[in-house]
Amino acid sequence: MRRLDPKYAAAEFLWYFDPTGSIDMITKYAPQYKNFAEPSGEVHGAYGKRFVYYFKPLIEQLKIEGNRRCVIALYESSDLMHPQAKDIPCTLNWQFIVDDNKLCMIANMRSNDVWLGMPYDIYVNTLIQRVIASNLGLECGWYQHQVMNIHLYERDWKKVEDMKSYVIDTRPLFVKDSLTTLDIIIIVTGKQIGRAHV
């Protein structure tokens, strides 16, 4: 069973709402983030400074029936101008739509590590979906996680091979509410390497 660290997962979620990009808070839960910080102590690819200012306008746009413009871009074209940056967002964008009176979400990823990153990305993304749905007075609908470059590092192959089934255990992280469960099938190069039930 692949267990998530609930303290780190909660800290990452909160860090997404920090507009400074500072590593001060997140390194208390994940010291390795020091490796991604620029000399200024900020992470170039931090999501908070790319997302938090658009939270309220996104909610207002989602109130418009049939709106198809509700996209938050986390990767920016200007990131191409920073090839030396230690961190670039793995998430291209989040798209939200109200379908059948439920808030649905698509996360488009440019790159995702199946073992380490994806479980936390799915958790944090669906938590953001829940927060936005709550602000709209809606239940959560479906969640779709699309990845252009999905990979599993060689150092983690044995961990996956040793498991009879690949399960992301997030039960301690979720509060029982109207969130629908998620079935995630992880496929790498045409071979199913795991399944997660969240």
Tens digit of pLDDT for each residue in 67-76? 889 999 999 9
Task: Provide the β-strand partners of residue 147.
Answer: 109
Condensed to tens digits (0 to 9), the pLDDT of residues 137-153 reads 999 999 999 999 988 88
At 175, is the pLDDT very low, low, confident or very high (cuts 50, 70, 90)?
very low
For the entire predicted model, the pTM comes to 0.81
Q: Give the C-alpha separation, 88 to 82, whole Å.
A: 9
Tally of domains in the chain? 1
pLDDT value at residue 165: 55
The CATH number of the domain where 70 resides is what?
Answer: 3.30.572.10
pLDDT value at residue 164: 54
Range of the structural domain that residue 93 is part of: 51-76+87-197
* E-strand stretches of 8-138: 71-73, 91-99, 102-113
Q: How many residues does the chain have?
A: 198
Q: Give the C-alpha separation, 48 to 25, whole Å.
A: 13
Answer whether residue 29 is part of any domain: no
Condensed to tens digits (0 to 9), the pLDDT of residues 110-124 reads 999 988 899 999 999
Condensed to tens digits (0 to 9), the pLDDT of residues 7-25 reads 999 999 999 999 999 999 9
Answer whether residue 136 is part of any domain: yes
Answer whether residue 19 is part of any domain: no
